């Protein structure tokens, strides 16, 4: 039987705009699915049902139907403030106080016409790819004994399980792409500075940027358009460092057309190989092989490219630790209530000297220029998104040093795109075979890393793969 969550985000937007359904009906449908399915999944930490209904009822009077996300149910990652709603940040170390103002990302989504159903789960302060916190556990809808990855854990699970048509997460080292890959979604990390509501050099290394988690490539283009050109805000958002390319049209158009032939590289190695034992599951290699085969059949040029051997791991670790060093200054925080990983990162970050941090930033800049040069002859470079299948709950353990090592071994190809500011997309190319030791049907993603500002190329390639592999028809149990 057909239901509204079977529609893509674009299709649902068209239905609402044409009057085939209403924003209130869509809101009620997805709220009902949250109520029925989320107790097992843990995608939401707060559901603001009354506010969502009121917002949906008011949309017809306040927001033009031309807005890019008009009437679409959405959620706010629980790292970002929405006025009147507590921001939990995945921790029990903070008092539960309602936020007094909207974060620019939240304001941009509201201005685009989205209807927030509540706050989606994140690990503590977004510092991990685990989905287990002291506030609760978020489970992978393909296998609820496994984790969805993070840090945009709840957003990915909500989209994969049909609790939302699409969502926006944030990505500082893979936090959109990791959970997208583990839950069978498209996840796009834009170029550094592409999204005005999360500008340029915010935090050590300028690592984090907002990006969409969707079931189709066209939906990813639509949501990127909404993030890049927010309209209707009472106050302007901070400037973007990367502006839309004049004359190239919307990202949605590139994602729908899926045109072009390109030169692609297949990466050998990862930036963590010198410090972490990276073991690549055969299912991850199979997914890359599938993508390469289809892209070759479509006429793209494909070559091998070696990972440049430039120091990376220690400098990235310093950037991650230094970003945690500011947590003790957060008003009302109880440092004794932090998880072992975050407490360890705080201690290591506070022990760093300014000279060490500056040296790490210099090393990351050197790595960035070396990586961009090595990838320069390619329109996109192909890697697995994750080295392993979606991890069992409890896999990261309680030892913080081992936890960090396992995060790097699980996703050794994601953080380098953040460091270099490059756009990257994960595509749900494959699933594990029935005879795989971890079981059949687990999602396996393939990552494409683009040139600076090259989101349109990534979307076009994604659309071409989607037409052949038709992953939008693949859903978890309970769909």
List, by residue number, the catalytic residues.
77, 151, 175
Sheet holding 115-120, edge to edge: 44-47, 115-120, 73-77
Round to whole Å and give the CA distance between 352 and 194: 30
Q: Are 294 and 264 in contact (CB under 8 A)?
A: no
DSSP 3-state percent helix, strand, coil across the chain (nearest 5): 40, 15, 45
Distance, in Å, from the CA atom of 97 to the CA atom of 88, rounded to the nearest integer, reads 9
Query: Could you tell me which of 52, 461, 59, 93 has the C-alpha nearest to residue 254?
Result: 461
Q: Is the dihedral of CA 103, 42, 214, 462 positive or negative?
A: positive
- DSSP line for 403-428: HHHHHHHHSTTTHHHHHHT--EEEEE
Q: What is the DSSP string of 152-199?
A: SHHHHHHHHTTSSS-EEEEESSSTTHHHHHHTT-EEEEPPTT-STTS-
Contact 100, 68 (CB under 8 A): no
Tokens of 303: 């070559």
> Within 13 A of 465's CA, how many CA atoms are on the CB side?
32
First-to-last alpha carbon distance for the chain, in angstroms, is 11
Contact 95, 87 (CB under 8 A): no
Give me the helix-helix angle, 104-111 and 217-228, nearest 10°: 110
Question: Tokens 């029990």 correspond to what residue?
Answer: 92
In the block, tokens 């498209």 appear at 186
Return the H-helix or E-strand segment holding 268. strand 263-268
Query: In terms of Cα–Cα distance, which of 130, 48, 133, 42 is closest to 89?
Result: 133
Q: How far is C-alpha 278 from the geometric centre of its chain's CA atoms?
A: 22
């Amino acid at each position: 039987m057909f239901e509204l969550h079977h529609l893509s985000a674009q299709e649902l937007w068209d239905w609402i705009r044409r009057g085939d359904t209403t924003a209130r009906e869509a809101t009620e449908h997805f709220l009902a699915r949250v109520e029925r399915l989320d107790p097992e999944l843990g995608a939401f930490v707060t559901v603001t049902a009354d506010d969502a209904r009121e917002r949906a009822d008011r949309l017809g009077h306040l927001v033009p139907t031309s807005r890019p996300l008009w009437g679409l149910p959405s959620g706010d990652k629980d790292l970002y403030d929405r006025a009147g709603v507590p921001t939990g940040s995945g921790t029990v170390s903070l008092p539960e106080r309602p936020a007094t103002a909207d974060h620019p990302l939240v304001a941009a989504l509201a201005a685009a016409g989205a209807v927030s159903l509540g706050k989606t789960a994140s690990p503590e302060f977004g510092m991990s790819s685990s989905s287990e916190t002291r506030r609760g556990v978020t489970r992978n809808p393909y296998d609820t004994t496994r984790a969805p990855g993070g840090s945009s854990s709840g957003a990915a699970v909500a989209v994969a399980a049909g609790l939302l048509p699409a969502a926006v997460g944030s990505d500082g080292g893979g936090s959109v792409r990791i959970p997208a890959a583990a839950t069978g979604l498209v996840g796009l990390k834009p170029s550094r500075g592409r999204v005005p509501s999360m500008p340029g050099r915010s935090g050590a290394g300028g690592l984090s940027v907002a990006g969409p988690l969707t079931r189709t490539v066209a939906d990813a283009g639509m949501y990127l358009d909404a993030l890049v050109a927010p309209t209707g805000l009472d106050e302007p958002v901070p400037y973007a460092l990367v502006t839309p390319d004049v004359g190239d049209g919307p990202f949605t158009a590139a994602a729908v057309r899926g045109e072009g032939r390109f030169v692609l590289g297949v990466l050998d190695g990862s930036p963590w190989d010198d410090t972490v034992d990276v073991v690549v599951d055969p299912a991850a290699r199979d997914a890359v092989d599938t993508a390469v085969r289809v892209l070759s059949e479509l006429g793209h040029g494909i070559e091998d490219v070696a990972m440049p051997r430039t120091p990376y791991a220690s400098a990235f670790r310093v950037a991650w630790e230094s970003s945690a060093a500011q947590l003790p200054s957060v008003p009302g925080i109880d440092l004794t209530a932090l998880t072992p990983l975050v407490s360890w990162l705080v201690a290591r970050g506070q022990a760093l000297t300014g000279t060490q941090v500056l040296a790490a930033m210099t090393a990351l800049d050197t790595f960035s220029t070396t990586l961009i040069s090595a990838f320069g002859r390619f329109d996109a470079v192909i890697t697995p998104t994750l080295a392993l299948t979606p991890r069992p709950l409890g896999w990261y353990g309680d030892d913080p040093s081992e936890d960090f090592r396992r995060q790097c071994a699980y996703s050794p190809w994601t953080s380098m795109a953040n460091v270099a500011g490059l756009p990257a997309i994960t595509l749900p190319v494959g699933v594990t075979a029935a005879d795989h030791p971890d079981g059949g049907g687990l999602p396996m993603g393939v990552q494409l890393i683009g040139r600076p500002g090259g989101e349109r190329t990534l979307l076009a390639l994604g659309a071409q793969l989607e037409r052949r592999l038709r992953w939008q028809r693949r859903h978890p149990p309970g769909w």
